[in-house]
Amino acid sequence: RQPLSPGVAGERLCSTEEATPGSGTYTRHGFIYSSLAGCLERRSEDSGLPVVSVVRDSDSQLLPNVGAVVTCKVCSINSRFAKVHILYVGSTPLKSCFRGTIRREDIRATEKDKVEVYKSFRPSDIILAKVISLGDAQSNYLLSTAENELGVVVARSEAGVQMVPISWCEMQCPRTHTKEFRKVARVQPQFLQT
């Protein structure tokens, strides 16, 4: 076990010609990178290339991986995308804040050209999204809510009351009965945060 630089994820470990990526890693442009902070492990495989994996220290940071379902809070929206803070990966709370972006074309699976961001999310909504790429220079993760299970799970109305979903695209305030548009998640029980 060889410790990686403390707290560094995204560290380049080796090329894909030297080893096979194991858990805690991802590949990009022919290189293997660590997807979490921890210790580097190389295991020799009979088939030839050793397997490189990164093992997390119990107290080190979990990072959103591509394909992971994350719980986020919407910070701001404009006509092209919504900016969010990632709060949980699965059911594990994150120790530090990661930023994510949901582009207009990644909000819904169908009729992408008709999607309007402000009819899908509002600031302070809590949403479920899936990580589709590990971001760019601004370290924003790209997220998608295109599946039925993804989208808004908690939203407050203008009256400050938690709204109730009434369809896949609308939520209603139980106090004022005002309806507001949202990209509503069909929440599966394992994703519910208490």
**CATH code, domain with 51:** 2.40.50.100
pLDDT at 134: 79
Distance CA 59, CA 4 (A): 15
Tell me the pTM.
Answer: 0.65
Residues of the domain holding 78:
68-150
Shared domain check, 131 and 78: yes
Spatial CA neighbour of 64 closest among 162, 5, 133: 133
Residue 160 lies in a domain: no
Shared domain check, 146 and 72: yes
For the residues 79-95, what does the mean pLDDT come to? 88
Residue 26 lies in a domain: yes
**E strands along the chain, which residues?**
2-3, 12-15, 20-21, 25-28, 31-34, 38-43, 51-56, 69-77, 81-89, 92-103, 126-133, 141-144, 151-154, 164-165, 170-172, 179-181
Convert the pLDDT of each residue in 96-130 to its tens digit: 778 999 999 999 988 888 899 999 999 999 999 99
Shared domain check, 47 and 84: no
> Is the confidence at residue 175, as pLDDT, over 80?
yes
Convert the pLDDT of each residue in 132-168 to its tens digit: 987 654 458 999 999 999 999 999 998 889 999 999 9
Chain mean pLDDT for the chain? 84
Shared domain check, 95 and 73: yes
Residues 6+ away with beta carbon under 8 Å from 52: 13, 14, 19, 20, 21, 22, 25, 32, 40, 41, 42
**Are 131 and 64 a contacting pair, CB within 8 Å?**
yes
Shared domain check, 106 and 129: yes
